[in-house]
Amino acid sequence: MEIRAATVLPARREPIELHTGDGLTLVGELALPAERDPVATLVTLHPLPTHGGFMDSHVYKKASNRLPALADLAVLRFNTRGTSSERGTSDGAFDGGEGERFDVAAALEYAEYHDLPRVWVLGWSFGTELTLKWARDPLVEGAILMSPPLHRAVDADLDAWARFGRPMTVLVPEFDDYLRPEEARRRFARVPQAEVIAVEGAKHLWVGEPYVRIALNEIVKRVNPAKHPLPTDIPQ
C-alpha cells in the first residue's frame, strides 16, 4: 500500500499538557512507536500562529502519523501560547517569540521528565526562530530547521548556536518567500556545524507530498539514519 498524504500508521498517541515557568498550560500530543521504545525524539516547534501555524501544520501532522512506525521516533507536538488546534487552545497569548521561551523550555522539560531519548528540536518557519533563540539546552542533541526566515533570530543567535556546538541541518526551499538557499548559505556560514540543504522546487509551506517526503527523509537521516531512506509503501 502506498503511503499517501492522509496515511496514518500505528502508534501510541496520547494527549499531553505542558506547564510553563510563567504559569501557563499548553496542549499537545506525544506519538510513540506502537510496540517498542523510541530511539530518538523530535520536539516540534510550529510555524507562526498569527499566519495559521499550529501543532497540526501538515508536515508535523504527517511526521506524527508516520515516523513512530517508520523510524522508531517519538514525535512531540504542541500549541505555543495562545494557539488553537483540534487538540485545544493553549493558555496565554502570542508574544512574538519572546514569552515563547517558556514554551520551548516546558517542552524540553517534559521530554526530560518522561525520559524521552535523544532529543532533537525540529523548527519550521517561526519555529526555527524559537529553536535558534531558546533551544540551546544541554538536553538537545541537534536541530533541524525548515524554511528559516531569520527575522526574529539574528546573527547573535547564530553565533550563540555556533558556540553551543550541536549539529544543525537547515532545509531551505528553492522558492522560499523569505530566505532562499544562496542567502541562507551566507547567513548560516557563521555556524560552522550547520549544513544548509537547498530543496529544489520547494516553497516555504512545503505543500505537496514529494516535498513532505524529502523533509521527512532529511529529518530521519540525521536523527535515526538506520531507518533512512523511508519506505514509500507498506505491507497491507
- Residue 198 in this model has a pLDDT that exceeds 90: yes
Sign of CA dihedral 43, 48, 49, 53: negative
Question: Is 121 within 8 Å of 43 (Cβ atoms)?
Answer: yes
Contact yes or no for 16/94 (Cβ under 8 A) = no
- Of 151, 108, 122, nearest to 20 by C-alpha is 108
> What is the spatial distance between Cα 130 and Cα 34, in angstroms, rounded to a whole number?
30
Q: The whole model's pTM is what?
A: 0.98
Phi and psi angles of residue 224, each rounded to the nearest 5 degrees, phi first: -145, 75
For residues 80 and 102, give the distance between their C-alpha atoms in angstroms, rounded to a whole number.
9
Domains of the chain: 15-226 (3.40.50.1820)
How far apart CA 125 and CA 142 sit, in angstroms, is: 17
The torsion angle over the Cα atoms of residues 96, 15, 171 and 141, rounded to 10 degrees, is 100
C-alpha cell at 120: 532533537
Which pairs count as long-range contacts for 83-86, CB under 8 Å and 24+ apart, including other chains?
83/46, 83/49, 83/53, 83/54, 83/55, 84/54, 85/27, 85/54, 85/55, 85/56, 86/56
Beta strands in the chain (DSSP E): 12-19, 25-32, 40-45, 73-78, 84-85, 88-89, 119-124, 140-146, 168-175, 194-203
Cell 510563567, residue located:
22
Residue 223 above 90 pLDDT?
yes
pLDDT band at 180 (very low <50, low <70, confident <90, very high): very high
Give tens-digit pLDDT for 38-91.
999 999 999 999 999 999 999 999 999 999 999 999 999 999 999 999 999 999
Contact of 134 with 161, CB cutoff 8 Å: no
Say what percent of the chain tops pLDDT 90: 99
What residue has cell string 524529502?
214
- Residue 160 pLDDT > 90, yes or no? yes
Backbone phi and psi for residue 118, each to the nearest 5 degrees, phi listed first: 40, 75
